[in-house]
Structures are given as C-alpha cells and as structure tokens.
Structure 1
Amino acid sequence: MSTIRVSGLRVRHRRTVALDAVDLDLGPGVHGLLGPNGAGKTSLIRVLATVAQASAGRVEILGEDVGEPARRGAVRARLGYLPQEFGYYPGFTVREFVAYVAWLKDMTAADVPAAVELALHRVGLGDRADAKVKTLSGGMVRRLGIAQAIVNEPEILLLDEPTAGLDPEQRVEFRALLRELGVRATVLVSTHLVEDVAAACTEVTLLDAGRVAYRGTPASLSAVGEATGPDGIGDSGIERGYTAALRAHRTPVEPTR
C-alpha cells in the first residue's frame, strides 16, 4: 500500500535545481534517505512535509494531492515532522511544548495528556517533563523534537537528521523506536549516518545532485559494497556500497554505436 507517491518532482531554489525528476513510491516501514551535502534530502523532506512547494511534478500523501492548498491541512494533521532545526519556546516546560504541538495537530483535549506522556516516555524525557526547554542539553532538545513529531501517532513520519546530538546509547534506543513506529507508519529518515540506515531501515534511497542514484534494501546496498572488493571505500559493506553507488551514478554512460 503506497502512502507517499512522488512523480517527476522538481524543486528549484532561485538558480539552483535541488531536485530533478524524482520518482518515489513508499509504504509503511522505515525508509532511509542518504546522500552527500547538497543532494536534495532536506528539500525532499520539506516538500513531503508540505512546508515547501514543488516547482513541477506531483506529490500525493495519504491519497491527497498536496499540490492543492485546500488538501494540505488535512494531511498535516496526520504527519509528524522533525526538521534539522526546529523552533521551540524556551520558556515552556517540556510537557507544555509537546502538548502545544499536539493542539496544533488538532488532537482532542481529552487525548492530549496521555499522548504527551507516551511520547516523552518513548524518547526518554519522562523525568524531564516539568523542566523548562531552555534548561535542556542539545541532545535532549533533539529528543524533544522527536517527541513532538510522534505525539499524534502519525501515519507519515518525516525526520531530518534526527540523531544529531544523540549519544551512542540514545541512537541505539532511537533505532528501536523507529522499527516500532515503522510497523504501522511510513517513516522517512534523512541522515548522514549510514550505520543507522543499516540497523533500522527496510529500504534505502540514495540521492545525488537532486536525482535518485540508488533504491533498494540495506542488504542490497551492502552487496554492492562487497562486490567492490578491497578497492571499496568504507569500513563496512553498506558504507562501501554507498560510495560505489554514488560513483556509478556519476559515471557517464558511454553512447552505444
């Protein structure tokens, strides 16, 4: 069952083309989005989150064409979104901030308290619920961002560099949370950390220079890396596969004679 369908997506920022002719078809599960800086990962996440518009192409989220402004509100209530830098009110307590986001997502007043407590428990902030946001460490703020993204039990969860600032133990716990969420939801995780994709994702999409360079499973990308032999760059099969897939995408195709 497809929950995200993208066809011919093009995003232009002034004179720069951030995404060009991108096609994607995603369903429930955890999907990793990899690529070097400037590949277009954040641009894709922003379009899917309905906070940026496509220059061309079609984007359907949960069966709704988000190119139509009238349909975006209904979609946003069913989304969870964590940008690279998310805004928050430092004077709010942790509980107040997540409850405020729940209200913005049109959750009923009766459902909010339990949903907030569950979200904070899932990210390990239950004991900090009454602390002011301004007192949190960088890693705690990132976990708060994850909590606000999942408070409404979203059907689509979009996470842009979610593990930035998390220590190794927290990253392991976060991977487990992703696998749990991916049983019912479509989770798209943009990251530079290839090992997170290997551990948590069922599928991987590699972007390069605004185009899809590779789509497959982490195991298939690892197989690409293993096939490179000792000449591959990386400490693991999937890292070598990442590098090999990028190189293959960048290699000009010789014209047939």
Structure 2
Amino acid sequence: MLNIVISLVVCLLVHTGLTLYAGVEQWIASIAAVASFMLLYFLLTRFVMKKIGALMEVAQRDIQAGRSEKAVKVLQGGFKYAKWQFYIKGQLNAQIGTILYLKRDFAEAFEYLQKGFVRHWVAMGMLGICYMKRNKSNKMIDTFDKATAANKKEPMLWNLYGFCLDKIGQKDKAIEVMEKGLKKTGGNEALQANLDALKTGKKMKMQAYGDLWYQFHLENQGTLIKQQTKAIQGRRNLVKR
C-alpha cells in the first residue's frame, strides 16, 4: 500500500540524512526515523479514511433518498484510494454488492460480493446465499465458515447460516452450527429458539429480526406483502389512538 511505501521511504531518508549529513548518532537517527514513519503513516491513513468516510456519507444519503444507482457510482469513485490503504477495496466491494443485492440485482451484486471484506457480515451472508441459489453448497459453507470465524459474536449470522444449511437439506449440520453459534455468542434467545425448532422438526422463525432478515430476500413475495400489510395496519391503529 502506498501509505506504507511512502512512510518507509521518508523513514529511510530521515535516517540517512541524519547519520550521513548531520552527524547524528545511529540510535538517535533511528528513533527519529521511526517517529517520522509513524507520524506520516498516521497522517496519510487519516487523510484517506476521511475521504472514504465522506464518500460513505454521500452514498448513505443517496440510498435513503432512493437513489441506489447514484450511491453505487459514488462508492465506485472510492476505488482510486484502494492502493493507499489496506481493506478499502474489500469494504467498497462489500458495500456496493450489498446495495445491488438489496435492489435484487443479484448477478451484478455477486461480482462485487465475491471481492468483499470478510468482516462485513451482511455482505458475506448475501454471498453465501448467492452460492446457495447457484447450487454451490461447498462454496456456501466455505463462505459462511469464513464469515462466522470473523464475526463470532453476530447471532443473526449464525441463524442465517443454520437456515441456509437446513434449506439445502443439511439439517444435522445446521444443528451443529447453531450449537456452535450459541457458544460463540455467549447465548442468544433467537438462536436457542431456532435450534430447538430444528431439533423438534419445526421450521426456523426468522421474522423476529425484521428488516435485518428481510434484506436477504429469502422470504417469498406473499410473506413480505403480509408483513408490510401488518405494518401499515399497525401504524393506522397507532394513529387512531
């Protein structure tokens, strides 16, 4: 990454300049060189992350205004900073892939999600689902294994993994994953309830997660319409009161 390269070059120049031209002792020059490296690396990293943060804010406003395509273009503009800082490219790919997935552009979303950042658990979950829908069970499992390893404390991710395993007919593995998730998260009511459901031959209930669940588009349209209708009726009842 360029920020490290530039910082190292400056570090060497400082050390060389102090020892060869200023007659400074080696240990003093070394301390000064390391200090210059750390300071410059910090400043460059901060500068780049501020640029990325600004792009994220603009993209978020576009998403809230229903301008998904514009949000994607804004985030794509951030790829020019990828060569400066580690993980930026993966984070941008994950974010863009998530936006495209939400608008049901699954084919294009898949291209970005494959290159996403593993700690972006929503993007990784979406990628796992993409593999499941493409009948690539091994890829799906590998993706969820990486995601849960990097996001051990996220109950929804363990639930999603178990749900997908059950959906492809691997109920025993789903139970195993859910039990592991309970241990890693330190206990979770939704995880426990769905684990009990699997063990008793019942379906997992994910609707309690609300929009966090519906964003993965694993419910059929009929169910979504019912949920939206209930939400509208609930709001009307609140207004009447």
TM-score by length of 2: 0.32
Larger radius of gyration between Structure 1 and Structure 2: 2
More helix by share: 2
Higher relative contact order (CA 8 A, sep 6+): 1
